[in-house]
Structure 1
Amino acid sequence: MIWTHAVIVFLCLCPIYAAFGQDCPSRQDMQSSLKQVQKLLSTHEAAYLQSLRTLRKKLTLLQNTATKQTGKANNDTCLKLDTPANSRKLGKAQTPGHEVHFLCDAGYELVGAESRMCQESLTWSGQQPTCRNINECASSPCLNGGTCVDEVNQFSCTCTKGWAGATCQSPVPTFFVTMTNTSSATPSAAAAISPPAVTVGPFVRPSRCTQVQDTTHCTCDPGYTISGRDSTTCTDIDECELFHMGQAGRLCLHACVNTPGGYRCTCPAGYNVTRDGRNCKDIDECATRQNNCTRDQMCINTYGGFQCVRVDCPRIRNATYSKTSPLRCERNPCSVDNRVCSQAPNSISHHFLSVVSNLSAPRTMFRVSALRLMGDTLRFSLLGRGQARRHFTVQRSDRQTGQLVLGSPVLGPATLEAEVEMTELEKGVQLGRYITKITMFISQYEF
């Protein structure tokens, strides 16, 4: 076929040569030219076939990749984790690299991993935790022979005779006076004696007197005492002053209010008095919906209050981010020639901690770990200056974990912020950056 077309071309050229007064090429010249044309066409044909084969391979590869990705999209998730009894689970993502966290209800303590991560093998790291009831009687809080009864998130004491209070820390005063009555006509008889009329009020009461064999006994109700030499009047005992610092410590964790015949403990705003009547328990305004956070905000419970926060993805030149969870933003893929984008953080996550005032230090507040080490070096560092540098340091606890350490106690109320950067390197070349922002809300009180 190629030869036929070549001959036709040359035959058609002969009249053209004749028209310009030139001789038609000889047969030998024509054969030589035809061989060159054949060689040229064979080369083009081979290149064309090779291109077709390469294109076919690429199409097959793309088709296989698309099929695998479709299958992955349906199955590339870890199995859903159950929420342990008496706890709540934070986090819903089940794809590799994402974590879920567990928090036990009040009165229960966590046994096992606080968080679990979906691994590349589509299995969860660690073991499923449980929440067990805290035994409030383990520390033997009941004093003076009292019996402790463990309850959910609290305890109660059954006191022995002569003791009272939440932890049987207060003696029950039984005051009496003895008077000799020589005019008694029947010394062997026991009779009640009516005291003279006295002015009484909530903190003053008349005593109760009885006569037995020329002796008069006057007693007061619990919480009252005989007023000096006047055996007919009982005055209230100020337990808040008398038992301010007893064997069990302060009578009340926060404030004590004296009442007729007793006392009561009060707590600051944002706290409730516990069932033992002495301690203060934080009110979770987020769980009880006692907050004014809007729909685009997250409610973070703090000791004595709450905070409304909104997490927005950063705006970095030549890089864009998408929210993959309420507290995490991940960088969208960068173009090959966009070096600024490739140097931007791969992800930025936010964490909020509620801390009591004057927390003892040094203390580890947060840990940052790599799921798997991509390069040959993993570096942890503390970003920012000023407040963060004054209170925090970053230390390495193992090859793949860094920890944020509080260096000194901080008096509340205050808010501290720190940024921990984790960088993956391969022979000094950056492979990825990951930033974790930790915000600590420090309460006004130490309890």
Structure 2
Amino acid sequence: SLLAPEGYVAGDLEPTFQHCCQLGSVVAAQDRKCDEATSGTPVQGIPAEQQSVCLSTMQLCCVLSVRDIQCKEGKQAAERGLGCQSTKFEDSKYCCEACKLGMISGSMAMGCEFQEFSLGEMWDETYQTCCTSISSSTPPVTAPISPNTSFTTPASNKPQKTPQSNENICDLLKGELCAHICVPTGTSSYRCDCEPGFSLMADGKTCQQVKFQNRCESNNPCQQRCTDTGIAIECSCLTGFQLAADNKSCSDLDECALGLHDCGQDQTCQNEVGTFTCQDIPRPTQPPQRQTTQPDYDREPEDEHVNNNTISSRYQEDQCPFGYIFNSRTQLCQDVDECEADLHVCSTGEVCVNMPGGYRCSRAQPTTTSQPVRCQPGFQYSDVYHRCIDIDECSEQESPCDSNQVCENTMGSYLCQCKSGFQLDSITQACIDINECQVDLHNCLPSQRCDNTIGSFQCVRYTSCGTGYTLNAQTGLCEDNDECALHMCDHLGPGYKCRNTLGFFRCDKINTPGPSSTTETSTPCDSCSLSTPSITFRCPRGYYANAQRRCIDINECEKSGACKPNQVCINIPGGYICSNKMNCEPGFRLNEETNRCMDIDECVEQPGLCDHNCHNSWGSYRCTCRSGYTLYQDNRTCADINECEMFKDRRLCIGYCVNQPGSYSCQCPQGYRLGIDGASCQDIDECTSQNVCTGRNEVCLNMRGAYRCVSTACPPDYIKDSQHANRCKRITMSCREDDKECLQKPLTYTFHFITLVSNLTRSSGPLDLFMMRGPMWSSTNVQFDLRLDKVHTPPSVQAASLQSFRLEEADHNVANIRLLQPLIGPQDIYLQLFMKFFYNGIYGGTTISNIAIFVSQYEF
């Protein structure tokens, strides 16, 4: 028994909660089931009025303790690098996943605290604990790291979160720490290396390709083409050749033998070294005569699909081969259909089969009175070849696949394959766009942003390098422009020298004199001066002297009219430059200071430009839509996708599909509830509710989407059979021999009820509905008779008839009622099955089975 703590005071609930909670935790630690431990055993010392409170507290604390124990097992599985599916309990699995998320975030130094997002109380703590244990052991990178630099992880003060001694952090977070190679340097430390031909970048993780000498130029082992990938030398061959087994030399590819040629049916393929030629088959110069044209009874054409009976080479009107005629519109030689033009010499009993440039006579199939040949789905009968041939749905049907798919014909059918850049959605079975940027399938440089597009992606540079710099596409770095190499100071004359600086340049005057003094007071300055009665300070042209006797550059561009209206004024030391204004393309704007075209960020300058999402690109912008929407023809507006209409052939919902902005929802008719999958409809069993059918002798019968209150009341002169609830028997079973009316009255009535969904079909044939078995004695025979009593159905639904059913004798005195055709609901059908008994040929009585069939309104 359970004991209360000493010093317990009745009426004080806090000690009750504390003690009972401890008892529940003990039950969990003993690996006992919480329900068994709190199944009603009273806790000694607890007042009777608080027993229920104590047991509930024990139950709650026991469950919480069990969850905590299971969560710890999940964390330990994650820290040991085990799969989360290996855990036995659901809480263990979720905590394992949360811990792995935390370890990944910690290794990426992305922070372990959420501002608003929450995984849940238990999983937030697990995530932060695992994240902190990893992030605290990964030092931040503040300077370029050499390829030999190691990440040293200090030992954690929590032993249970440290990897096992036989594991390392590279295996624990495989593919998450380094771009190429992760090299463990201890139990909890690592460093990143790169493949040959690549070098480690400043972040200590990313690898970039290094410049290397093309080894194909110095030592080319290949016979034809050589490619140095930076890692290895790869040999390849020219068109028409194939790489030999030594992976160096090339051998001729026989296109004719491998069927890689495109010669027509009236041509033969002739292989040549590195290529092939198509040679026309010689044609007779005279029409075929009867004595020289033998009907071909046995050989069938090699290609069943005879089409494109034209010769693509250009001919003059009098140059077409025999069997062809010149088409003045297409300027091509077109095949003459001798069969249609009645130019053949086939006899009676033969069929003329047109061929490119000629024809052949084939023996006609004998006519019979048998039924036409029926082919399997995907095939059609050919009157020419007298057999079933495949239907090419891709060429004969207009758009059998949607716009994101390509059609691939197969024998007897066809396949819709997703185009490049799309993948199949397992739920809607539609081809949806692959976000290459999100799943890291792009090849954008570190200095570029990956923008997803429909079926592809594009790489956009993050920001401009700025004036005086140019992006190096290989390194991804902005490099300084050497303007001096463009002789930017030559217009100032030989007295100036160009000096390149980061992002700009300077034109320095060679031996530029400082302010000079002279006693001549009558000589004027070139531009301006500061003078006294005896001394004059003069500056070079383009400068002026300030009060401190220093030469200051004059900004000529501040004066109006320095350059022409279509020019831009650029000030330089001691002068200025007039440069013609740039004509910027749409999407760019002229920067007056630098005379360069700068990209316009339309998304920032024109709010609301796109209906949903606006993505700026170089010289333009792109609009995208949220999930469930598609971009309209104006490339700006987003139109809702009506999933219910677009995917109606895929039956998104079992019940009703209701389109919603950006999505859809499923609803069920009355009598059903929506399943947990959000798509199926589950029947509501109304009969489980109390007092549904309150009439005397009424029984509640549940059916799909509805219910019926059916009566088993006995007719007059009949009473309930105590042995069978659904049977009524005659009050008096005996009759006088001359009382024919009494003898004809049924001995018993039985009641049977069957529920069906609407339009129920079976591919294997009729559906067995009901079986009745009579006495098995050999001296007894039973005559069965099926009758239709009545049918209740709305006017819009076709009512069932007796022809919808068939009565079959399955065995001696055994009858079976079978459904021959689907029944459309809703409708109630009442059948009566009569059984007449004969004992040694003498009539012994009749029983009637009342069979009620209730067909629901829906097919589910």
TM-score by length of 1: 0.52
- Pair 1:221–1:372, CA change in 2 (3 A): same
CA–CA separation in structure 1 for the residues paired with 2:460 and 2:678:
45
Comparing 416-425 and 402-411, the one that deviates more: 402-411
Identify unmatched segments of 5+ residues in structure 1.
Answer: 1-160
CA–CA separation in structure 1 for the residues paired with 2:851 and 2:735:
32
Deviations 1:235-291 (A, max 9, x none): 32221122222xxx3222332111222111222211222233233222221124594
Q: What's 2:464 paired with?
A: 185
Deviations 1:276-308 (A, max 9, x none): 323322222112459454464211112221111
Which amino acid in structure 2 is aligned with residue 185 of structure 1?
S
Q: What's 2:608 paired with?
A: 198
CA–CA separation in structure 2 for the residues paired with 1:400 and 1:253:
43
Flag the structure with larger Rg.
2
CA–CA separation in structure 2 for the residues paired with 1:241 and 1:425:
62
Identify unmatched segments of 5+ residues in structure 2.
Answer: 1-421, 436-451, 477-598, 792-800
Q: What's 1:445 paired with?
A: 858
Tell me if structure 2 keeps the 8 A contact 1:270–1:282: yes
Structure 1 SS opposite 2:673 = strand
Q: What's 2:447 paired with?
A: none
Q: What's 1:262 paired with?
A: 663
1:317-328 alignment runs, 5 A limit: 320-324=718-722, 325-328=724-727
Residue 375 of structure 1, CA deviation: 3.3
Q: Given the alignment, which residue of 604, 607, 629 partners 1:224?
A: 629
Residue 369 of structure 1, CA deviation: 1.0
Tell me if structure 2 keeps the 8 A contact 1:349–1:435: yes
- Pair 1:321–1:216, CA change in 2 (3 A): same
CA–CA separation in structure 2 for the residues paired with 1:169 and 1:309:
44
- Pair 1:290–1:198, CA change in 2 (3 A): farther
- Pair 1:429–1:217, CA change in 2 (3 A): same
- Pair 1:170–1:345, CA change in 2 (3 A): same
Which amino acid in structure 2 is aligned with residue 378 of structure 1?
V
Between structures 1 and 2, the one with greater strand share: 1
CA–CA separation in structure 1 for the residues paired with 2:432 and 2:694:
49
CA–CA separation in structure 2 for the residues paired with 1:192 and 1:291:
66
Which amino acid in structure 2 is aligned with residue 198 of structure 1?
G
- Pair 1:341–1:219, CA change in 2 (3 A): same
1:169 to 2:429 alignment: yes
- Pair 1:446–1:182, CA change in 2 (3 A): closer
Which amino acid in structure 2 is aligned with residue 262 of structure 1?
S
Structure 1 SS opposite 2:833 = strand
Residue 421 of structure 1, CA deviation: 1.5
Q: What's 2:337 paired with?
A: none
Structure 1 SS opposite 2:669 = coil
1:119-130 alignment runs, 5 A limit: none
Structure 2 SS opposite 1:357 = coil
Q: What's 1:110 paired with?
A: none
Q: What's 1:3 paired with?
A: none
CA–CA separation in structure 2 for the residues paired with 1:210 and 1:229:
17
1:415 to 2:692 alignment: no
Tell me if structure 2 keeps the 8 A contact 1:345–1:435: yes
Deviations 1:298-338 (A, max 9, x none): 1111222111122111225xxx4334343211234534636
Deviations 1:115-160 (A, max 9, x none): xxxxxxxxxxxxxxxxxxxxxxxxxxxxxxxxxxxxxxxxxxxxxx
Structure 1 SS opposite 2:644 = helix
Q: What's 2:776 paired with?
A: 372
Q: How many residues align?
A: 274
1:337 to 2:736 alignment: yes
Tell me if structure 2 keeps the 8 A contact 1:394–1:420: no
1:301 to 2:301 alignment: no
Structure 2 SS opposite 1:409 = coil
Which amino acid in structure 1 is aligned with residue 429 of structure 2?
Q
Which amino acid in structure 2 is aligned with residue 408 of structure 1?
Q
Which amino acid in structure 2 is aligned with residue 398 of structure 1?
D
Q: What's 2:307 paired with?
A: none
Q: What's 1:397 paired with?
A: 810
CA–CA separation in structure 2 for the residues paired with 1:403 and 1:261:
53
Q: Given the alignment, which residue of 757, 762, 767 partners 1:363?
A: 767
Q: Given the alignment, which residue of 778, 783, 786 partners 1:382?
A: 786
- Pair 1:367–1:426, CA change in 2 (3 A): same
1:75-86 alignment runs, 5 A limit: none
1:139-154 alignment runs, 5 A limit: none
Tell me if structure 1 keeps the 8 A contact 2:789–2:831: no
Q: What's 1:57 paired with?
A: none
Comparing 354-363 and 307-316, the one that deviates more: 354-363
Residue 170 of structure 1, CA deviation: 3.8
CA–CA separation in structure 1 for the residues paired with 2:663 and 2:836:
61
Tell me if structure 1 keeps the 8 A contact 2:698–2:709: yes
Q: What's 2:615 paired with?
A: 209
RMSD of aligned Cα (Å): 3.8
Which amino acid in structure 2 is aligned with residue 366 of structure 1?
F
CA–CA separation in structure 2 for the residues paired with 1:179 and 1:228:
21
- Pair 1:406–1:179, CA change in 2 (3 A): closer
- Pair 1:181–1:358, CA change in 2 (3 A): closer
Residue 168 of structure 1, CA deviation: 4.6
CA–CA separation in structure 1 for the residues paired with 2:670 and 2:621:
50
Which amino acid in structure 1 is aligned with residue 464 of structure 2?
A
Q: What's 1:252 paired with?
A: 653
Residue 405 of structure 1, CA deviation: 2.3
Deviations 1:347-376 (A, max 9, x none): 211011111223337432111112533733
Residue 443 of structure 1, CA deviation: 1.7
- Pair 1:216–1:358, CA change in 2 (3 A): same
CA–CA separation in structure 2 for the residues paired with 1:290 and 1:273:
25
Which amino acid in structure 2 is aligned with residue 228 of structure 1?
Q
- Pair 1:226–1:344, CA change in 2 (3 A): same
CA–CA separation in structure 1 for the residues paired with 2:767 and 2:695:
34
Structure 2 SS opposite 1:230 = coil
Which amino acid in structure 1 is aligned with residue 819 of structure 2?
L
CA–CA separation in structure 1 for the residues paired with 2:606 and 2:831:
72
Tell me if structure 2 keeps the 8 A contact 1:237–1:261: yes
Which amino acid in structure 1 is aligned with residue 642 of structure 2?
D
Which amino acid in structure 2 is aligned with residue 227 of structure 1?
Y
Which amino acid in structure 2 is aligned with residue 369 of structure 1?
R
Tell me if structure 2 keeps the 8 A contact 1:327–1:350: yes
TM-score by length of 2: 0.29
Q: Which has the higher contact order (CA 8 A, sep 6+)?
A: 1
Comparing 424-433 and 335-344, the one that deviates more: 335-344
Q: What's 2:849 paired with?
A: 436
Structure 1 SS opposite 2:786 = strand
Structure 1 SS opposite 2:802 = helix
